[in-house]
């Protein structure tokens, strides 16, 4: 049975924030656990993470955000698409819907957003999960992906494309995953994506790691080359309450490559094991 409840919009941090909610409102055990705010990566509208939210929703009250500039959230030219604004979005979203205890689970860019939000020590944030977050920045090695991959695929989507045409950019994805990307990628504002990508190189997220005090899980894709062992060691030195897990047979888009391995990598960090 699906755990999808509804989609909604709130006005928070000065913009429209669209989200999808999953869960079991009448489940007593779920009501005792902290809620989850799932923050996707650079070109992933909330709907593309629905399959993950379905599993999370079996155990937690789960909210998947459309990050500003993506999906159905505010996405006009001229908005501040910087990391700090995105972090404030998460904090103000939690306030707007009345969450008193919640964990942030962020993938890639979403992990950086979660780290900056956690560095602000918002009331109610209890845990942070950073899933393969880019650790590039000033004076560091560049992020392994290239900007044209994003720009060219978005241009194709804006024209209108099929799942098969999208396969050139995501050759290992399933037909269903490609169809969703072909359907929703056009909602990503190009200027938002370019600023986020440039911020991977220009904004030092390590300053945020040093301010994170909540228990944190760093999940690393073994084939992603986004976080190398020496980089994980540095993050470990900066975040006192850090746990690290690795997902074998997975590139950067971990649940797309090894979905069960992704769930197992959480262990019971969030308060319950994500069993099949």
Tell how strand 102-107 and strand 125-131 pair up. Answer: parallel
Please give the average per-residue pLDDT across 159-177, as a whole number: 96
Has residue 257 got a pLDDT over 90?
yes
**Alpha-carbon distance 240 to 190, whole Å?**
37
Asked if 195 and 156 count as a contact pair (C-beta separation under 8 A), the reply is no
For the stretch 100-136, pLDDT in tens is: 999 999 999 999 999 999 999 999 999 999 999 999 9
For the stretch 75-100, pLDDT in tens is: 999 999 999 999 999 999 999 999 99
For the stretch 182-210, pLDDT in tens is: 999 999 999 999 999 999 999 999 999 99
Spatial CB neighbours of 99, under 8 Å, sequence gap ≥ 6:
35, 37, 124
Instruction: Name the CATH superfamily housing domain 4-144+203-266.
Output: Alpha/Beta hydrolase fold, catalytic domain (3.40.50.1820)
Q: What pLDDT, on a 0 to 100 scale, did the predictor assign at position 22? A: 98
Instruction: Work out the mean pLDDT of the chain and round it to a whole number.
Output: 97
35 — pLDDT class (breaks 50, 70, 90): very high
Which region holds residue 102: left if phi is over 0, alpha if psi is between -120 and 50, else beta? beta
Q: What pLDDT, on a 0 to 100 scale, did the predictor assign at position 276? A: 84
What are 259-267's contacts with CB under 8 Å, separation 24+? 259/51, 259/52, 262/52, 262/219, 263/55, 265/219, 266/129, 266/217, 266/219
Residue spans per domain, the chain: 4-144+203-266
Spatial CB neighbours of 120, under 8 Å, sequence gap ≥ 6:
87, 88, 91
Q: What pLDDT, on a 0 to 100 scale, did the predictor assign at position 38? A: 99
Q: What pLDDT, on a 0 to 100 scale, did the predictor assign at position 149? A: 96
Q: What pLDDT, on a 0 to 100 scale, did the predictor assign at position 59? A: 98
Q: What pLDDT, on a 0 to 100 scale, did the predictor assign at position 81? A: 98
For the stretch 51-78, pLDDT in tens is: 999 999 999 999 999 999 999 999 999 9
Q: How many CA atoms lie within 13 A of 62 on its CB side?
A: 26
Tokens 């979660």 map to which residue? 114
Q: Where are the extended beta strands (E) located within 93-250? A: 102-107, 125-131, 216-221, 242-247
């Amino acid at each position: 049975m699906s755990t999808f409840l509804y989609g909604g919009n709130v006005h928070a941090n000065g913009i429209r924030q669209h989200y999808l909610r999953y869960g079991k409102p009448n489940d007593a055990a779920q009501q005792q656990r902290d809620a989850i705010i799932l923050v996707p990566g650079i070109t992933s509208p909330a709907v593309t993470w629905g399959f993950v939210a379905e599993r999370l929703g079996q155990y937690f009250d789960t909210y998947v955000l459309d990050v500003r500039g993506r999906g159905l959230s505010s996405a006009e030219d001229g908005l501040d698409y910087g990391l700090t604004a995105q972090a404030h979005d998460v904090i103000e979203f939690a306030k707007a819907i009345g969450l008193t205890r919640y964990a942030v689970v962020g993938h890639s860019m979403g992990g950086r957003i979660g780290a900056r939000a956690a560095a602000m020590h918002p009331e109610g944030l209890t845990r942070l999960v950073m899933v393969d977050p880019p650790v590039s920045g000033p004076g560091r090695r560049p992020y392994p992906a290239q900007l044209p991959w994003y720009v060219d695929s978005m241009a194709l989507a804006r024209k209108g494309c099929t799942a098969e045409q999208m396969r050139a950019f995501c050759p290992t994805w399933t037909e269903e995953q490609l169809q969703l990307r072909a359907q929703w990628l056009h909602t990503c504002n190009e200027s938002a994506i370019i600023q986020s990508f440039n911020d991977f190189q220009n904004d030092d997220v390590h300053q945020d790691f040093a301010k994170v005090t909540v228990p944190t899980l760093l999940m690393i894709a073994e084939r992603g080359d986004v976080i190398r062992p020496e980089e994980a060691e540095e993050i470990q030195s900066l975040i006192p309450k850090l746990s690290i897990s690795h997902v074998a047979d997975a590139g950067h888009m971990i649940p797309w490559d090894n979905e069960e391995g992704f769930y197992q990598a959480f262990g019971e960090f969030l308060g319950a094991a994500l069993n099949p």
